[in-house]
Amino acid sequence: MKGLSLTRLEVSATLWNSVKRRMVSNIPPELFDKRTKYGPKSTWFNDPALDEAAAKQQVRISPSTLLYSGKSSDGKSHILTSAQYLHRELPVRLAHRVADFRQLPFVVGCDESIAEVHELYVRAFHILNKFSPIENFDGEQKYSKVVSALLDDFRNVVTTLAEGFKDSRKYMPNGSLKEFLDRTLKSRLGIRLLAEQHLALHEDRPNFIGIININMNLRKTVERWAEFTRDLCLNKYGKAPQVKISGHVSATFPYIVQPLDYILPELFKNAMRATVEHHWNEEGETLPSIHVTLANNDIDFVVRISDRGCGVEHQHLPHIMDYHYTTASLFYSDSRKEDGGYMDDFVSLTNPGATRGPMHGYGFGLPTSRAYAEFLGGSLKLESLQGVGTDVYLRLSHIDGPKESIRI
């Protein structure tokens, strides 16, 4: 049998060659450490530095720590301290991701897209782990350039994972795909928020400390994404429902807007798609409006999005929070395929956030939004009023609330 089967190393060499072709780095060549341009040597499977980092505990910090360490009396020493924290923390978090990829069934890890993401993490780990300790602003600047380039290199990770698991999910033991993706997406959100926070400390934006808007106006944020999604919907179908906002419309509080930049367009896209799809013969003005209700209190805030798009049918309801489950026509995950579905690439149009790449109707919108909401100490719930419409409740903890419910 031995002569017929490929060894792990041979499989990895083949994979490496295809992955290498697809991996394009944004790291400036002068900052690229040549030692990290390695192929599938034995370090691919046996790397003491990686194992050592993966055994370390992650140090998750509260948003209030981010807030208070976002300024210093000399106006710059906090930037150095922040880079030093990232320098310690990022390799540990990346090593945890790599360790998780290595727990996947071997056949899943051989999928080209999964191998590509695995490789990205291995490569980022090596680049950041080998980066010299940051002792001055020159080092800090170089470090920030590398981190910024890596953020860019990783921008399509969610789409690539969605593609990879599309075929290989059948090899995942029951429930383990959801657990893996929830863990990966939550951890990735944390990593990206920390990296973006550090980079944003270099900017001097009024009302902001790093990426934290110290006075975020909830209504304006919701309105911005409602308008954005409406424009896409109008462009695509020539009509779109109105969005009406009520409740605590003047609420302002400190918040990190990035996750909302992902979640809100996904939710509006679903509500608009359902509304247009189920009122296809109606003109724009007569389409039933989407109603958004905002509620703010000391502990958390809630955004309820209510549409009249006929709700989610009983048969679909148990699956809509599953990764890959979609009733969009462009792409069907499995045998639950249904007819119709003229709403093709509208699902792919809402992809502005930095935490994401294009989502071509992969059925990732709801489960990813729910994972992000949970990471932020909140929840995402959907109530279907079959035959009438859907209410989606996005509940998120305040970052300066009485109890520390979020750690990034």
Q: Which string of b and e fits 227-256 if b means at least 16 CB within 10 Å?
A: ebbbebbeebbebbbebebebbbeeebbbb
Q: Provide the 3-class DSSP secondary structure of residue 218.
A: helix
Convert residues 116-155 into a mask of x (bound to ligand COI by CB under 6 A) and - (unbound).
--------x----------------------x--xx--x-
Report d(CA 377, CA 401) in Å as an integer: 11
Q: Which of 307, 143, 338 is nearest to 230 (CA)?
A: 307
Under a CB-based contact definition with an 8 Å cutoff, are residues 94 and 125 in contact?
yes
Binding at 255: pick from ligand COI, ligand ADP, none (beta carbon under 5-8 Å per type): none
Binding range to ligand ADP, per CB under 6 A, among 34-42, 118-126, 151-159, 322-330: 322-330
Tell which one of 67, 274, 276, 303 touches ligand ADP (CB under 6 A).
Answer: 274
Q: Out of ligand COI, ligand ADP, none, which partner does residue 271 contact, by CB within 5 to 8 A per kind? A: ligand ADP
Cα–Cα dist 35/30, whole Å: 13
Candidate residues 116, 163, 261, 307; the one interacting with ligand ADP per rule CB under 6 A = 307
Query: How far, CA to CA in Å, does 394 sit from each of 220, 263, 391?
Result: 16, 9, 10
Q: Binders of ligand COI: how many residues, by CB under 6 A? A: 10
The residue within the footprint of ligand ADP, chosen from 365, 377, 378, 401 (CB under 6 A), is 365
Closer residue to ligand ADP, CB minimum distance, 91 or 311: 311
Among 108, 122, 157, 272, binds ligand COI (CB under 6 A): 157
The answer to the question of residue 328 lying near ligand ADP (CB under 6 A) is yes
Is residue 158 exposed (0-12), middle (13-18) or buried (19+ Cβ within 10 Å)?
buried
266 binds, among ligand COI, ligand ADP, none (CB under 5 to 8 A by kind): ligand ADP
Which CB atom, from 114 or from 392, has the smaller least distance to ligand ADP? 392
Quote the distance between the C-alpha of residue 291 and its chain's center: 26
* Cα pseudo-dihedral 333, 334, 339, 345, rounded to 10: 10
* Residues that bind ligand ADP in the complex, under the rule CB under 6 A: 266, 270-271, 274, 307, 309, 312, 316, 320, 325-328, 347, 361-366, 390
